[in-house]
């Protein structure tokens, strides 16, 4: 599938299906576009676009630190490169932070905003422990274990699990850590 240049030094990998109103899905750190594999079934009704944020999957990485505002600017440039003026944004988990920031900074471009599985802060005991574990695994170089845990928890089939594991392992450790 296609890769589009969103700046002179950064390329973004994406998959697109359907032709109607565009819906862009934003994944959380350490994952990629394949977490939305089954959303392409919506392409009879929408133009479904899944992409890899920078430092993840098949997208490039810039020299800048990966922040929510940087990823929001990347999303804007990505939509510009695709010639999309207005879009429905779906942010999954921490990808919802990018979706929210985009909606706040580019309200004229947002037709609708969907936040799925997100959280405003790490506040519950279990969420804190999950977050701390993820951070510790990335920080200590055990990203393969984190990748296996994420792939297993997001799979429908064994094939999905293998595909998600491969994609998680492609995430640049510093990009995933900066985003978290």
Q: What is the Cα–Cα distance from 66 to 168, expressed in whole angstroms?
A: 17
Mean pLDDT of the residues in the chain = 87
CATH number for the domain harbouring residue 50:
3.40.50.1820
The confidence score (pLDDT) of residue 134 equals: 76
Q: Domain residues for 79?
A: 3-179
CB 171 within 8 A of CB 29: yes
The pLDDT tens digits of the residues spanning 95-125 come to 999 999 999 999 999 999 999 987 666 677 7
The pLDDT tens digits of the residues spanning 38-73 come to 999 999 999 999 999 999 889 999 888 889 999 999
Top-confidence residue, 71 or 153: 71
- The model's pTM is 0.85
Looking at the structure of the chain, the number of domains it has is 1
CB 11 within 8 A of CB 56: no
106 Cβ contact list (under 8 Å, min separation 6): 72, 76
3 state DSSP class of 101: helix
128 Cβ contact list (under 8 Å, min separation 6): 122
């Amino acid at each position: 599938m296609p890769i589009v240049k969103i700046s002179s030094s950064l390329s973004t990998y994406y998959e697109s299906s359907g032709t109607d109103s565009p819906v862009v899905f934003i994944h959380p750190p350490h994952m990629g576009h394949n977490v939305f594999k089954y959303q392409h079934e919506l392409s009879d009704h929408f133009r479904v676009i899944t992409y890899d944020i920078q430092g993840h999957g098949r997208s490039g990485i810039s020299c800048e630190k990966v922040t929510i505002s940087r990823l929001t600017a990347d999303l804007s440039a990505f939509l510009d490169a695709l010639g999309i003026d207005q879009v429905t944004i779906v942010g999954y988990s921490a990808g919802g932070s990018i979706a929210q920031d985009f909606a706040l900074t580019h309200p004229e471009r947002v037709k609708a905003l969907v936040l799925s599985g997100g959280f405003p802060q790490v506040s519950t005991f279990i969420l804190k422990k999950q977050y701390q574990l993820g951070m510790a695994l990335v920080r200590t170089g055990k990203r393969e274990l984190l990748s296996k845990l994420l792939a297993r928890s997001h799979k429908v089939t064994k094939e999905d699990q293998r595909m998600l594991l491969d994609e998680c392992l492609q995430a640049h450790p510093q990009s995933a850590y900066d985003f978290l």
